[in-house]
Amino acid sequence: MSTSTTLEAPNTGTWDGGNEPLKASYGKLMMWFFLLSDAFTFGAFLIVYGLSRHSHLPYTGEPEAFTFSTEWWPIPEKVFNAFPGLHGMDLPLAFVALMTMILILSSVTMVLAVEAGHRMDKNDVQKWLLWTILFGATFLGCQAWEWSHFIAGTEEGMVLADGTRIFGANLTVNQYGPPLFADLFFFITGFHGTHVFIGWTLLVIAFISTVNGVYHKRGHYEMVEKIGLYWHFVDLVWVFVFTFFYLI
């Protein structure tokens, strides 16, 4: 093998492969381009939400007089107004505000873990990864509650033209508005939740590897950095889901 050393010597000339225009490692570049493709997927989902919303009747009456109807697209504040443990109270967007805060916090603890990795500070990486795992799990728990509430529905439900009531939502029936609204809720927040779950699993693996000293022996914590990129992207997607699904 010693004869192969001349082959492995790095080429330094600009036209001999010594040029690095993007100045980033292979792994990080691949993560960036994967995230770009994922941004197209989420972008397409949110744009289809816009398409569906524009092709339905908007609610034009007073917000106070709003009732659920398949005729018009619902006002998100009237749909997402429940909070665990506070049954029957009208708390518009309070729970989603909490979820947003949890995800932003988890992004901060993630970037702190990456920063600790640059300093080769194993204890700090462990500490911040554990916080990120905790916030990530809390977010997933919140989303599970949000989904089960959305599926079960409110006490009043929706009154149909023939006087019967429907409660909750699935892919074909939706008490909050047109069935498409519930479909998009399940697809968009579900796809985002799947991403959070995948990121969370990767974080747990990274935490175990950090505790075992795998990255320390390797001499760098780039794996934490790459998972960090993915985790921040999940937070970024939530920022857009939050605006286009819950605020507008």
Q: Does 78 bind another protein (CB under 8 A)?
A: no
Query: DSSP labels for 87-139?
Result: TT---TTHHHHHHHHHHHHHHHHHHHHHHHHHTT-HHHHHHHHHHHHHHHHHH
What are the φ and ψ backbone dihedral angles of 88, each rounded to 5 degrees? 85, -5
Closer by beta carbon to another protein, 6 or else 40: 40
Closer by beta carbon to another protein, 166 or else 202: 202
Question: What residues between 33 and 52 interact with another protein by CB under 8 A?
Answer: 36, 39-40, 43-44, 47-48, 50-52
Give least dist CB 142 to another protein, A: 16
CA angle 49–63–180, rounded 5-degree value? 25
* CA–centroid distance for 85 within its chain: 24
The answer to whether 102 touches 136, Cβ cutoff 8 Å, is no
Closer by beta carbon to another protein, 90 or else 152: 90
Residue 105: how many CB atoms within 10 A of its CB? 17
Give least dist CB 176 to another protein, A: 17
Interface residues toward another protein, by CB under 8 A: 21-24, 29, 32, 36, 39-40, 43-44, 47-48, 50-57, 63, 75, 77, 92-93, 97, 100-101, 104-105, 107-108, 110-112, 115-116, 119-122, 124, 213, 216-217, 228-229, 232-233, 235-236, 239-240, 243, 247-248
